[in-house]
């Protein structure tokens, strides 16, 4: 399957080009960017035969079957709608859009067009998160009482651009990281939060957007979820804990792009290290997307998953801005 990459971005060059090229019979044949100079340089650097600033030029190539969108967040909706209208399968970066209405429109359009639509939530593709999900599903912690996610990182200098200074481009830690934690929570607990309370702050990086957030979510089962996201924490590390009536899971260093970290299960029987696969998160995610496009299974995270993670993140922001508890509306999904 030939792909067009829309967005000459860091995530595309660091992970996604390789993830596509590792799939049998898949390659990237176009790159689309807003900058005439950058797109030529980027294409040459990554051996991509076609470079353009005109999205329609790439979309009108019948050889292109899939489009990966990793532009800044405000562009996702328009680019995805154009790709879907051209009959392409779409793998879109999170957050799917700036608003829930945008995300819903994209997912409904893909459904109507009969194309595969995926959201690039990589964490649910990791061996560590899948091992934790299995522990929970197998009842190893008993009834889940609580989930604590700590995902406060230090944004690398090369990414300290639109994420920290442009609300118009979808900056802020809530659209950037809370969406991932929302997807992880839904994936691990297999249920959707019903309401949230939250606070947000600018603690040194955010210019007109929040760079830190803490929130507490209510789950239908009664489990409580607590999350902490930030761009400004150099030494906090990341991870999550799941606490249940029969055991606790302590997972360190797993809220990351690489297959690293460690998982301990603690029960009355003692402490046990849980092994997990160290496959690439992104290669795995693309492989599930490619299979889905070929009619086998579904993408690791599909369109409704992307609508839901965005709906939760937007509710967290609304809760933080208003000081109110917000009931989450999933836009019909």
Query: Is 94 among the residues that bind ligand NDP (CB under 6 A)?
Result: yes
Query: Is 122 among the residues that bind ligand NDP (CB under 6 A)?
Result: yes
Quick one: which of 72, 238, 256, 309 contacts ligand NDP (CB under 6 A)? Answer: 72
Q: Are 38 and 8 in contact (CB under 8 A)?
A: yes
Of 31-39, 148-156, 271-279, 313-321, the window that binds ligand NDP (rule: CB under 6 A) is: 31-39
Could you give the CA distance from residue 147 to residue 151 in angstroms, rounded to a whole number? 13
Query: Is 55 among the residues that bind ligand NDP (CB under 6 A)?
Result: no
Could you give the CA distance from residue 9 to residue 72 in angstroms, rounded to a whole number? 9
Q: How far is the CB of 330 from ligand NDP (least distance, A)?
A: 21
Cα first-last separation, the chain: 30
Query: Is 161 among the residues that bind ligand NDP (CB under 6 A)?
Result: yes
How far is C-alpha 101 from the chain's CA centre?
Answer: 18
Q: How far is the CB of 71 from ligand NDP (least distance, A)?
A: 4
Residue 200, SS3? strand
Of 29-37, 136-144, 211-219, 308-316, the window that binds ligand NDP (rule: CB under 6 A) is: 29-37
Query: Is 10 among the residues that bind ligand NDP (CB under 6 A)?
Result: yes
Number of residues that bind ligand NDP (CB under 6 A): 21
Q: Are 197 and 187 in contact (CB under 8 A)?
A: no
String of b and e for 90-128 (b: at least 16 CB within 10 Å)?
Answer: bbbbbbbbbebebbbbbbbbbeebebbbbbbbbbbbbbb
Query: Is 9 among the residues that bind ligand NDP (CB under 6 A)?
Result: yes
Query: Is 93 among the residues that bind ligand NDP (CB under 6 A)?
Result: yes
Q: Are 239 and 250 in contact (CB under 8 A)?
A: yes
Closer residue to ligand NDP, CB minimum distance, 41 or 146: 41
Measuring CA to CA, which residue among 5, 142, 167 is closest to residue 74? 167
Binding pattern to ligand NDP, positions 259-278, x when CB under 6 A?
A: --------------------
What is the binding site for ligand NDP (CB under 6 A)? Answer: 7-11, 33-35, 38, 70-73, 93-94, 120, 122, 159, 161, 176, 257
């Amino acid at each position: 399957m030939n792909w067009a990459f829309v967005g000459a971005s860091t995530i595309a060059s660091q992970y996604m080009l390789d993830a596509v090229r590792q799939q049998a019979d898949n390659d990237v044949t176009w790159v689309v960017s807003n900058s005439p100079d950058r797109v030529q340089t980027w294409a040459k650097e990554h051996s991509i035969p076609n470079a353009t600033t005109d999205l329609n030029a790439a979309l009108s190539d019948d050889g292109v079957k899939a489009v990966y969108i990793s532009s800044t967040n405000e562009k996702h909706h328009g680019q995805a709608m154009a790709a879907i209208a051209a009959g392409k399968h779409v793998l879109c970066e999170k957050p799917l859009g700036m608003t829930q209405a945008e995300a819903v429109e994209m997912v409904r359009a893909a459904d109507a067009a009969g194309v595969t639509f995926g959201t690039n939530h990589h964490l649910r593709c990791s061996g560590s998160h899948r091992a934790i999900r299995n522990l929970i599903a197998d009842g190893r912690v008993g009834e889940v009482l609580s989930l604590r996610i700590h995902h406060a990182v230090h944004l690398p200098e090369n990414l300290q651009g639109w994420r920290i200074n442009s609300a118009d481009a979808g900056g802020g830690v809530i659209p950037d990281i809370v969406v991932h934690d929302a997807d992880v929570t839904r994936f691990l607990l297999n249920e959707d939060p019903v309401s949230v309370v939250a606070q947000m702050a600018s603690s040194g990086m955010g210019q007109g957007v929040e760079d830190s957030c803490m929130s507490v979510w209510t789950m239908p089962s009664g489990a409580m979820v607590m999350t902490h996201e930030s761009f400004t924490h150099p030494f906090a590390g990341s991870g999550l804990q799941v606490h249940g009536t029969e055991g606790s899971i302590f997972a360190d260093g797993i809220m990351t792009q690489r297959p690293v970290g460690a998982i301990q299960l603690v029960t009355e029987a003692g402490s046990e290290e849980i092994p997990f696969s160290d496959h690439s998160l992104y290669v795995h995610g693309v492989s599930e997307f490619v299979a889905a496009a070929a009619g086998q299974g579904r993408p690791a995270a599909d369109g409704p998953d992307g609508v839901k993670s965005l709906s939760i993140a937007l509710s967290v922001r609304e809760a933080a801005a208003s000081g109110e508890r917000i009931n989450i509306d999933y836009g019909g999904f």
